[in-house]
Amino acid sequence: MKRALITEINTLEIGEGKDPSPKSNEVIVKVEACGICATDRHIFAGVYPMDFPITLGHEYSGTVVEVGPEVKLLKIGDRVAVDPNVFCGICSFCRLGLVHLCSILTPLGITRPGGFAEYSAVPEQNAYLMPDSMSFEAGGMLEPLACAIRGIQLGDVKLGDATVVLGAGPMGICLIQLLRISGSSKIIVVEPNPVRQKLALDYGADVTVSPDEHLRDFVMEQTKGLGAHVVYEATGNSKVAESTLALVQRGGTVMWFGCCSKFDSIPISPFWVNDAEITIRGSFNNPFSHPIALELVSSGRISVENMVTDRIPLERLLEAMDHKNFPDAIKVTILPGMKSDLFNNRA
């Protein structure tokens, strides 16, 4: 099969690999669509240290073409969306239901071969049936939506809360939609890119603003001088994460949702956090949020398909690993079956 293999930092090879064979509880999925995540780019660039070689890609969907002997529910021909979190089920965290924090988590597309390939071996419990009405591209978007759902759950947004989302990329757009149906009375989106500002408004933001030295004043003006109840950092930029503390109201919650580099650090005033009773929470991955994401998309409550702005063949993955080659893209998606002469088939 054709697959993309990261052999070392900033080195990617497209070539032939051995077709995967299913273990007893696995299915083989023909990958139809796989989104490129910032995490993929960070691993490729060495921002997130990882053992190489590895086939990345954890936002994918496809068709079941082979099943292991102990597979119970899935069959050949089923259309499935993949939850990449492969957990042990027996460690302390798994027993608490925090499977995404599993002590020996081995995610597809991170430590196990993932969706930047024609075929992928997937445990049956990690493959969710998709309705025929859902496109494969939308199926691939269920993974980032599932992560955003976890962020909303941890942020504990209440009816009438004012919220701020910093960053209107794929995660930010998912958060905006979820905040809207969760009852946020005002959604303020901080985003420098005019194209993404417009998209944020289209998906439910009340107001957008570019980040500058007057950002705190703007947020205070929009929230009657109080600040936001919940602030979401969705860029993965440590400087942006630092700015969140100036935007939240006393007694509010800061959600560090974007994945910053493990080498970054920021100054925090313990006095301010204590005196104002600020809650700072991280949100990493998701436990069992895929079924919720699937229901929200299939019911039409959340829209994800139009977030896929660029579709490219596997052969052009290296170009897409540099986001500067797609400056206005929201989500770039790999279509392994796409012919290379149809490169960048923009929606």
What is the per-residue pLDDT for 49? 84
What is the per-residue pLDDT for 343? 54
What is the per-residue pLDDT for 347? 45
| Nearest residue to 144 via CA among 337, 330, 335 | 330
Residues whose CB falls within 8 Å of the CB of residue 130, separated by 6 or more in sequence, listed in order: 61, 79, 80, 81, 136, 139, 294
**Tens digit of pLDDT per residue, the chain (347 long)?**
999 999 999 999 999 999 999 999 999 999 999 999 999 999 999 888 889 999 999 999 999 999 999 999 999 999 999 999 999 999 999 999 999 999 999 999 999 999 999 999 999 999 999 999 999 999 999 999 999 999 999 999 999 999 999 999 999 999 999 999 999 999 999 999 999 999 999 999 999 999 987 999 999 999 999 999 999 999 988 889 899 999 999 999 999 988 777 778 888 889 989 999 999 999 988 888 999 999 999 999 999 989 999 999 999 999 999 989 998 899 999 999 997 765 555 44
Helix (H, G, I), strand (E, B) or coil at 142: helix
What is the per-residue pLDDT for 134? 97
- The encoded tokens of residue 215 equal 């950002």
AA letter at 12: L
Q: How many CA atoms lie within 13 A of 196 on its CB side?
A: 26
What's the CATH code, domain 2-141+304-342?
Answer: 3.90.180.10
What is the per-residue pLDDT for 259? 76
Looking at the chain, the domain(s) classified CATH 3.90.180.10 span 2-141+304-342
Q: Is 42 a catalytic residue?
A: yes
Is residue 53 reached through a cis peptide bond, with omega within 30 degrees of 0 on the bond before it? yes
- The encoded tokens of residue 126 equal 């990690």
Report phi then psi at 129, rounded to 5.
-60, 135
What is the per-residue pLDDT for 107? 96
Q: Which of 7, 11, 39, 106 is catalytic?
A: 39
Residues whose CB falls within 8 Å of the CB of residue 272, separated by 6 or more in sequence, listed in order: 245, 278
What is the per-residue pLDDT for 341? 62
Q: Which of 7, 42, 223, 333 is catalytic?
A: 42
Looking at the chain, the domain(s) classified CATH 3.40.50.720 span 146-282
> What is the reported pTM?
0.94
Report the Cα 211 to chain-centroid distance in Å. 23
DSSP labels for 275-341? HTT-EEEE--S-SS-HHHHHHHHHTTSS--GGGEEEEE-GGGHHHHTSGGGSTT-SEEEE-TTS-GG
State which CATH number among 3.30.565.10, 3.40.50.970, 3.40.50.720, 3.10.25.10 fits the domain covering 146-282: 3.40.50.720
What is the per-residue pLDDT for 277? 96
